[in-house]
Amino acid sequence: MRSFSPAFCTELIELMKWRRDVRHFKPGAVDAGLLRDCLAAFSLSPSVGLSEPWRLVRVNSPGNRLKMLDNFKSSNRDALAGYSGDKATIYAGLKLSGMQEAPVQLAIFCDEETLKGAGLGAKTMPEMRRYSVVTAIMAFWLRARAEGLGVGWVSILDPVRLQRDLAVPESWRLVAYLCIGWPEKDDADKPELEKIGWEVRSPQAPEMIER
């Protein structure tokens, strides 16, 4: 039986603690080989029926970068309008995306109509395909962080508009927009939302209800 050492387990927990959603990037390209190594985590991830429904779009052209940023800005403005008082003040001061600086930006989609896997495991819960994409993103996230790369997941976006702007097939659905690059600061001990007083984390494992 393959076994992992206690030292590895300790470091794995450290990695999870340190992972963070990174929104502050310093200048510096990401080596193509390193990016590819990290993206290999997708292929090692579970997918329902082995359907591998992830589809990756690298957003590179200045025109498309601008469209993505515009999408974020208007979605963020709308979101801010939904808060008042202290929450509005805090929200307005948050940096919720690194889209202006991150050298690598990936829009990650789920192909809702892939034939791969022949639908196994996705009949009663078709959302399993999207969940498979999410597990792959999490594997990539941990892998990238272990290499010191920062990853930030932007969700303050109109997914339909983004999909139209990037001209991807109709059967694809946006799961995540990832900003990837080298983190500006080494302050990964706490989530930014906790530091700034937006919300607190639970200190321990979630409770289980018994049934």
- Which position among 23, 25, 30, 42 is part of the footprint of a second copy (CB under 8 A)? 42
Please count the other Cβ atoms lying within 10 Å of the Cβ belonging to residue 149.
22
- What is the token pair recorded at 44? 């090692």
From residue 41, alpha-carbon distances to 134, 135, 151, 153, 155 in Å are 12, 10, 14, 17, 22
- Which position among 27, 28, 85, 203 is part of the footprint of a second copy (CB under 8 A)? 203
Question: Rule CB under 8 A: is residue 3 a binding residue for a second copy?
Answer: yes
Question: Rule CB under 8 A: is residue 27 a binding residue for a second copy?
Answer: no
- What is the token pair recorded at 75? 């979605």
CB 100, min distance to a second copy, A: 18
Q: Are 130 and 108 in contact (CB under 8 A)?
A: no
What residues from 58 to 87 belong to the interface with a second copy (CB under 8 A)?
58-61, 64, 75, 78-79, 82-83, 87
CB 140, min distance to a second copy, A: 9
- What is the token pair recorded at 117? 């896997």
Q: Round to whole Å and give the CA distance between 151 and 180.
A: 5
Here's the x/- map for a second copy, 90-109, by CB under 8 A: it reads as -x----x---------xx--
Q: Are 153 and 137 in contact (CB under 8 A)?
A: yes
What residues from 127 to 186 belong to the interface with a second copy (CB under 8 A)?
127-128, 130-131, 134-135, 137-139, 141-143, 146-148, 153, 155-159, 166-168, 174-176, 183, 186
- Which position among 66, 120, 164, 171 is part of the footprint of a second copy (CB under 8 A)? 120
105: left (phi over 0), alpha (psi -120 to 50) or beta: beta
Question: Rule CB under 8 A: is residue 19 a binding residue for a second copy?
Answer: yes
Size of the site for a second copy (CB under 8 A): 107
CB 179, min distance to a second copy, A: 14
CB 144, min distance to a second copy, A: 11
Partner residues linked to 104 by β-bridges? 180
Residue 196 CB partners (closer than 8 Å, separation 6+)? 90, 93, 94
